[in-house]
Structure 1
Amino acid sequence: MKILFLTIAFVCLLIHSIKAQTDSLSVMDEQGIVADTLRSDAEKPQLKQVILPASLITLGVISNATYINRYVQRHVYNYSGGHKLRIDDYIQYAPIVSVFAFSNLGVKAKHTVKERLIIGATAYAIMGALVNGVKYTAKIQRPDSSAFNSFPSGHTATAFTGMEILWQEYKDENVWVGISGYVFATTVATFRLYNNRHWIGDVLGGAGIGILSAKAAYWLFPYTSKLLKRKEKSSIQMALYPVYSDEMKGVGLTLFH
């Protein structure tokens, strides 16, 4: 129940905050221009967009509150035999790297490189806040008993955040490019179980938070894009983005002209 309350509280706070901000876009500005035109590059928040991530988070909470976690993990451990293959530490970043790589290979993205940097930074900032907020408050023990920060999975959230951005950027140009992110993200989730680092509920919750964080970044883009416009006045541009995993937290810096 503690996990359920914390997760719902964080998600509701996020959605309420975004809704309040985006509702203000419909107000006429002083010159009589409808500010809603700022939405041209961003989706309006809609309830149906929250159904999938909310369902994944709910399933994650239910799994943690019942015997489902231990039932699934017992079968996974019997299959793996305790062996570990830590490719998930690296491929968790593959989806977000692909967001920038495919445009260099000639596939047209929905947004420019600078805009994608803003969207990515926003998404990962939201994801990091949600994941850490729940992790270090719920304090669920990992299946390998190494720590009490199991729920939700940060690796999975990282991968699914990038996956959703990749999908949003390329789905209209090349659907297979968009789908490729799902392969990486689900592989990360699978190996978090295989390596006995997370319960099934952890990866489900992480996936939901990752998708929700990416969607929130697009909802907020009319506001975060203003930061980009201000930076364009200077000759040297700078973009900051959070880097997060269970073992590492930091900030990345990109400079460009």
Structure 2
Amino acid sequence: MRTSHYFLYGALLLLAPCCLMAQDKDSTKVAKDSLPAFGNTPKLDTATNLSQDSVIRYRVNGTYLKSIIQDLGYTASRPFHWQGRDFAKFGVVMGTAGLLMAGDYEIKQFIQRNKTSGLTKVTDQIEPFGNAYSPYLIGVLYLTGVVSKNRNLEHASLMAAKSLLISTALYTTAKIFIRRQRPTTTDHPFSYSAPFNGDKRFTSFPSGHMLTVTSVATAFAEIYGKDYPWVPWAAYGLATLTGATRMYQNRHWSSDVWIGASLGWFVTRTVIRSQRRHSVKKGTYSLQVVP
């Protein structure tokens, strides 16, 4: 695991004693669809006082640290509660992964044959956003939110940090069991080793860089996308370019990148959904049933 990730974890833990403040329950207007699909959760009237991203706005305190563990369990258990549409989405993700796996070798060869010095310089600048820069970026945005008293930015940064922590835990576990050989050491995309093999050549699946940058991108796109439509385009655009650099540098197969992006998106969306669910349970606003 990179030093930057340890920096993020350490920063959260060190800040906890200094920020033991009650969890805020800010509220503004909310649209009817701001709480997506929680079984029989009633619809909300447009007059309900609530922000699009949430009522609960986290600060680094015991409540926030506890929510990380809770949301990890919630995220890991979601597949057991999937319904028809969820399985359809899963089928699309896995079907696309299968198609990419079938073409992984050809995609690798095409990219490697078309390398240029100019593209190499560009990819060298973009690649760190997938691992080295993202945790520091979250930290800078969080501190900016605290200093400027921008609760939206403070909250969004903590949500991104939580999603990144949970995503990292899940993808690290996946890499322990799915030991796929990296394209830098083989031309065979279906070369795997036994689980728990410590050989670093077999750490290709899924792409950690893509999962990291997609987790962060999804958090900010979900929280700011309604008010600032350019945010999702910028966030996902950077994530896409980061994934492309991993293939260009021959560090991952295309299917690794796809699954990394899908997992990062799923985890972050689930974490945000969990937070909204807790807002409902804690009674931080009044539900008005729309007939």
Task: Tell me which interval the TM-score lies in, with the shorter structure as reference length.
Answer: 0.5 to 0.7
Cα displacement (A) at 1:137: 0.9
Match of 1:86 in 2: 124
Alignment-mate amino acid for residue 120 of structure 1: A
Normalised to the residue count of structure 2, the TM-score between the two structures is 0.52
Offset from partner CA, 1:108-140 (integer Å, 9 cap, x none): xx9734432442233113211221222221100
Match of 1:119 in 2: 159
**2:96 aligned with 1:59, yes or no?**
yes
Alignment-mate amino acid for residue 180 of structure 1: A
**2:236 aligned with 1:196, yes or no?**
no
Q: Secondary structure of the equivalent of 2:114?
A: helix
**2:142 aligned with 1:142, yes or no?**
no
Cα displacement (A) at 1:56: 3.6
Quick one: percent identity of the two aligned structures?
20
CA RMSD of aligned residues (A): 4.1
Gap change, CA 1:24 and 1:118, over 3 Å in 2 = farther
Gap change, CA 1:53 and 1:183, over 3 Å in 2 = farther
Gap change, CA 1:127 and 1:95, over 3 Å in 2 = same
**2:255 aligned with 1:206, yes or no?**
no
Q: Structure 1 unaligned runs (5+)?
A: 1-21, 27-36, 226-257
Alignment-mate amino acid for residue 140 of structure 1: R
d(CA) in 2 for partners of 1:180 and 1:99?
19
Highest Rg: 1 or 2?
2
d(CA) in 2 for partners of 1:140 and 1:76?
20
Offset from partner CA, 1:6-47 (integer Å, 9 cap, x none): xxxxxxxxxxxxxxxx66988xxxxxxxxxx9997559x987
Matches within 5 A, 1:143-222: 143-145=183-185, 147-222=201-276
Q: Secondary structure of the equivalent of 1:197?
A: coil
Q: Secondary structure of the equivalent of 2:202?
A: coil
Asked if structure 2 preserves the Cα contact closer than 8 Å seen for 1:57 and 1:204, the reply is no
Asked if structure 1 preserves the Cα contact closer than 8 Å seen for 2:220 and 2:235, the reply is yes
**2:71 aligned with 1:75, yes or no?**
no
Gap change, CA 1:89 and 1:124, over 3 Å in 2 = same
Match of 1:231 in 2: none
Offset from partner CA, 1:205-255 (integer Å, 9 cap, x none): 111011101101101214777xxxxxxxxxxxxxxxxxxxxxxxxxxxxxx
d(CA) in 2 for partners of 1:157 and 1:221?
21
Gap change, CA 1:57 and 1:213, over 3 Å in 2 = farther
Cα displacement (A) at 1:188: 0.3
Normalised to the residue count of structure 1, the TM-score between the two structures is 0.58
Cα displacement (A) at 1:104: 6.2
Asked if structure 1 preserves the Cα contact closer than 8 Å seen for 2:210 and 2:257, the reply is yes
Asked if structure 2 preserves the Cα contact closer than 8 Å seen for 1:123 and 1:213, the reply is yes
Cα displacement (A) at 1:57: 4.7
Cα displacement (A) at 1:60: 2.3
Asked if structure 2 preserves the Cα contact closer than 8 Å seen for 1:60 and 1:203, the reply is no
Alignment-mate amino acid for residue 91 of structure 1: F
Q: Secondary structure of the equivalent of 1:152?
A: coil
Asked if structure 2 preserves the Cα contact closer than 8 Å seen for 1:92 and 1:155, the reply is yes
d(CA) in 2 for partners of 1:130 and 1:81?
35
d(CA) in 1 for partners of 2:233 and 2:83?
22
